Structure 1
Amino acid sequence: MFKQTILAATITAAAVSAQAADTLPSTADMWKVIQEQQQEIKNLKGQIQQTETKVDATADAVEQSATGKLSKMAEWVEKTKIGGYGEHHFNRFEDKDDEVDAHRFVMYLSHQFSDDVRFFSEIELEHGLTAEGEPGEVELEQAYIEWDYTQGHSVQIGQFLIPVGIMNETHEPDTFYGTERNLVEKNIIPATWWETGVMFNGEIAPGLSYSAALHGGLKTDDGNKIRDGRQKSAEAVAEDLAYTARIKYTGIQGLELGATLQYQEDITQGAVATADAMLTELHAIYTVQAFTVRALWAEWDVDGNGFEATGRDSQEGWYIEPSYKVTEKLGVFARYSEYNNEAGLSATIDYEIWDYGVNYWLTPTVVLKADYTDYVNDNTGDTDGDAFNLGLGWSF
């Protein structure tokens, strides 16, 4: 029985093997299959290569786009500058309430369009808050295009600071002594003073420069001080323009001499009878090592019956300010000033003021200030009066 079983299994296996041999593909069929597979592999390789090429091209395009944007951004950053200055004051008055004031916050924005064309602007927030009934103001002080039209000469077109005095163009708090700006340049010149027009600047000879401007003018009648006539290019009446010319000499190390003339044919802008006005200003700054002295004189001569009746046909003032840098960071100063906005009346008395105090620079452009303002004669109630002042100022 066992032998029969083995014999049957052997016969069955032989039959199965014979059947499998009959179903195996031929050599030709196998070769055809191999060739088809190789073609598929080749096609896949081509597709992968195309995909890699597209990916590389996309990466290059993305990189070029990013590089281009970064390049434009870098160019913008290089050609566009942001700066500004600000100051906080504390005033302890003898005859009125003490004050804490966020006096000024100013931002600069400039852009270099090309080697010879640039833009400059200045926006100021005064007294920290602007709203109806509040003391603050937001003002556009400068916004002009400057073009270097030839070597050593340029023109400014737009809104700019008038080239007069020491402080009107350079009034960042780290550049002067005293918490408050000096009263002569404030009330006579009157700083800070800007107009819209066109101004030419240049160098006549080494150390000798000029500025010549045609611009909007002041608007004041016989009842107002010169300072009240600033229109600040805010829908300013321009029936009569003004002309300003300045010469400045800096050819000797440590010395600056300046002289400005301004003429306006009608300072009332047609509001009342015509009144022509002439401003004359002279100043000097001299520095020898740690010692500096500043001196300035300015006078308005207004030819008009209304101004003569109020004594405001003559408005004048002057000051002298010696200072000494005890160290690189610590400086002391004293300043004597006189001014009168009604000097045409023989009965009026000039305001006489002493200022003295210290500046301490934490860095060259960050300063702490402490000083005292002493009016020799202040019987009119027309000023803030004697005061102890503290200040913080910065620029960047």
Structure 2
Amino acid sequence: MLKRSLLATAISLVAVGAQAAEKTPSLEEMWQIIQEQQAEIKNLKSQLNQTDTKLQQTEVKVAATADAVEQGVVTNETINTVAGWVEKTKIGGYGEHHFNHFEDGDDKVDAHRFVLFMGHQFTDNVRLFSELEIEHGLSGDDKPGEVELEQAYIEWDYAANHSAQIGQFLIPVGILNETHEPDTFYGTERNLVEKNIIPTTWWETGVQSKGELLPGLSYNLALHSGLKTDDGGKIRDGRQKSAKATAEDLAYTGRVKYTGVPGLELAATVQYQQDITQGLASEASAWLTEAHAIYNTGPFGVRALWAQWDVDGDGFELTGRDKQDGWFIEPSFKATDKLGFFVRYSEYNNEAGLSSSDDTELWEYGLNYWLTPTVVLKADYTDFVSESSGTDGDALNLGVGWSFY
């Protein structure tokens, strides 16, 4: 019995030893295991170093931010102010370059206008609008151009559908005076009736109320600085442009506009100034009356305008400038979204009070090609039938214009 127990114990020990021998790795296996462990340790150390570096960088940034806040460089108020300014302030502008080939004069290239405007929303019902313009590329002594503040006013919505403009604004008259970005009208140059009779572009300083009386029916009422021209002078030369303007005699302007039918605009403006000479000569009261119509249906469009000045003054009667008037009609056809054609017939006379004075008559025809809705190429020809106004005569005109908001 004892012998059997000893034998069993011996067999068990041999079996365990055999299993242990099978599980013991060789020297090569041991070296492979050590190498893998070393690589894993190296990788862990690298990750630890990277983590430590990122922590140090974060600590530096946090410390710098804390210092800036303590010094008042960066605050929540500053951040909110900057964000609010960006959200509430908008910039835009427009410009145009022209080439004019005159049949009886020198050809001209002109950086005619470059305009930047800025608006800012102070509150839901108070905002600023401004425009700064450079004309003819270069200004200064003996230079052809000017730097002009064209608009700068505060607009206040004082009631539903009614607002007031206080400051320097464009006079609500004609088609182009308020909306004259080059992509909005046909022709390289602005039409001569609005230029010489109204006279576009025309701004004054004062206060204006505007709003909607009924759906589609709006009004403008303005009290503002007026023109200043000598006894018998030209209307266009009387623009003071709010540059230390003489304001002995103010002007009053009113307009009604109807846009209740899609594609249709009908408007009429009346202005009165008691003394257009501002005391330079004997008193001369002046009335301006203007009416226009715009209608667009499908690819067809038409614009028509009439304007007239009646001036009661001895000097104006002697020069025939007591009456100055003009009109034009402009049909157009837009063949595609990009290409449009127009024809315009115009008559105007700045000395219509003289029976011997002839109207200036002209035909203009050409095309607009819009590269984008607000970038346009223009080509047209101006044919003077009568040139009593002393203009430069017939001309081929090319232009490029743009606007952005």
What is the TM-score of this pair, normalised by structure 1? 0.84
Instruction: Report the AA paired with residue 143 of structure 2.
Output: E
Q: Does 1:221 align with 2:266?
A: no
Task: Give the equivalent residue in structure 2 for 1:327.
Answer: 336
Question: What is the Cα deviation at residue 57 of structure 1?
Answer: 9.7
Instruction: Report the AA paired with residue 205 of structure 1.
Output: L
The 2-side partners of 1:308 and 1:379 are apart by 19
Q: 1:388 aligns with which of 373, 376, 396?
A: 396
Q: Does 1:341 align with 2:343?
A: no
Whether the 8 Å CA contact 1:94–1:387 is kept in 2: the answer is yes
Whether the 8 Å CA contact 1:174–1:365 is kept in 2: the answer is yes
Q: Does 1:183 align with 2:192?
A: yes
1:240-389 correspondence to structure 2 within 5 Å: 240-379=249-388, 382-389=390-397
Which secondary structure state, in structure 2, belongs to the residue aligned with residue 389 of structure 1? Answer: strand
CA offsets, 1:101-121, max 9 Å, x none? 000000001100000000010
Which secondary structure state, in structure 1, belongs to the residue aligned with residue 340 of structure 2? Answer: strand
The 2-side partners of 1:247 and 1:56 are apart by 61
Question: What is the Cα deviation at residue 123 of structure 1?
Answer: 0.6
CA offsets, 1:200-219, max 9 Å, x none? 00100000000000000001
Distance 1:74 1:319, change over 3 A: same
Task: Give the equivalent residue in structure 2 for 1:32.
Answer: none
Q: 2:148 aligns with which of 115, 139, 142?
A: 139
Distance 1:98 1:67, change over 3 A: same
Task: Give the equivalent residue in structure 1 for 2:6.
Answer: none
Question: What is the Cα deviation at residue 55 of structure 1?
Answer: 6.0
Question: What is the Cα deviation at residue 68 of structure 1?
Answer: 4.5
Task: Give the equivalent residue in structure 2 for 1:40.
Answer: none
What is the TM-score of this pair, normalised by structure 2? 0.82
Residues 347-356 or 370-379, more deviating: 370-379
The 1-side partners of 2:328 and 2:63 are apart by 75
Structure 1, unmatched stretches of 5+, are: 1-50
Whether the 8 Å CA contact 1:221–1:307 is kept in 2: the answer is no
Q: Does 1:82 align with 2:96?
A: no
CA offsets, 1:323-361, max 9 Å, x none? 111000000000000000000011111000101000000
Distance 1:65 1:325, change over 3 A: same
Q: Does 1:194 align with 2:196?
A: no
Whether the 8 Å CA contact 1:222–1:310 is kept in 2: the answer is no
Residues 69-78 or 361-370, more deviating: 69-78
Q: Does 1:58 align with 2:66?
A: yes
Residues 147-156 or 65-74, more deviating: 65-74
- Percent identical across equivalent pairs? 70
The 1-side partners of 2:362 and 2:67 are apart by 72
1:21-170 correspondence to structure 2 within 5 Å: 58=66, 65=74, 68-170=77-179
The 2-side partners of 1:57 and 1:283 are apart by 62
Which secondary structure state, in structure 1, belongs to the residue aligned with residue 123 of structure 2? Answer: coil
Distance 1:379 1:59, change over 3 A: closer
The 2-side partners of 1:208 and 1:132 are apart by 47
Question: What is the Cα deviation at residue 224 of structure 1?
Answer: 1.7
Question: What is the Cα deviation at residue 74 of structure 1?
Answer: 1.9
The 1-side partners of 2:368 and 2:391 are apart by 24
Which secondary structure state, in structure 2, belongs to the residue aligned with residue 174 of structure 1? Answer: helix
The 1-side partners of 2:68 and 2:243 are apart by 52
Which secondary structure state, in structure 1, belongs to the residue aligned with residue 193 of structure 2? Answer: helix
Which secondary structure state, in structure 2, belongs to the residue aligned with residue 349 of structure 1? Answer: coil
Task: Give the equivalent residue in structure 2 for 1:233.
Answer: 242
Question: What is the Cα deviation at residue 59 of structure 1?
Answer: 8.8
Question: What is the Cα deviation at residue 56 of structure 1?
Answer: 11
CA offsets, 1:100-157, max 9 Å, x none? 0000000001100000000010010000001211101000010000000111100000
CA offsets, 1:274-303, max 9 Å, x none? 100000000000000111100000000001
CA offsets, 1:165-199, max 9 Å, x none? 00000000000000000000000000000000000
Whether the 8 Å CA contact 1:294–1:321 is kept in 2: the answer is yes
Which secondary structure state, in structure 2, belongs to the residue aligned with residue 146 of structure 1? Answer: strand
Instruction: Report the AA paired with residue 164 of structure 1.
Output: V
Instruction: Report the AA paired with residue 117 of structure 1.
Output: V
Instruction: Report the AA paired with residue 206 of structure 2.
Output: G
Which secondary structure state, in structure 2, belongs to the residue aligned with residue 272 of structure 1? Answer: coil
Structure 2, unmatched stretches of 5+, are: 1-58
Whether the 8 Å CA contact 1:265–1:275 is kept in 2: the answer is yes
Instruction: Report the AA paired with residue 393 of structure 2.
Output: G
Distance 1:178 1:57, change over 3 A: closer
Q: Does 1:212 align with 2:221?
A: yes
Which secondary structure state, in structure 2, belongs to the residue aligned with residue 211 of structure 1? Answer: strand
Question: What is the Cα deviation at residue 223 of structure 1?
Answer: 3.4
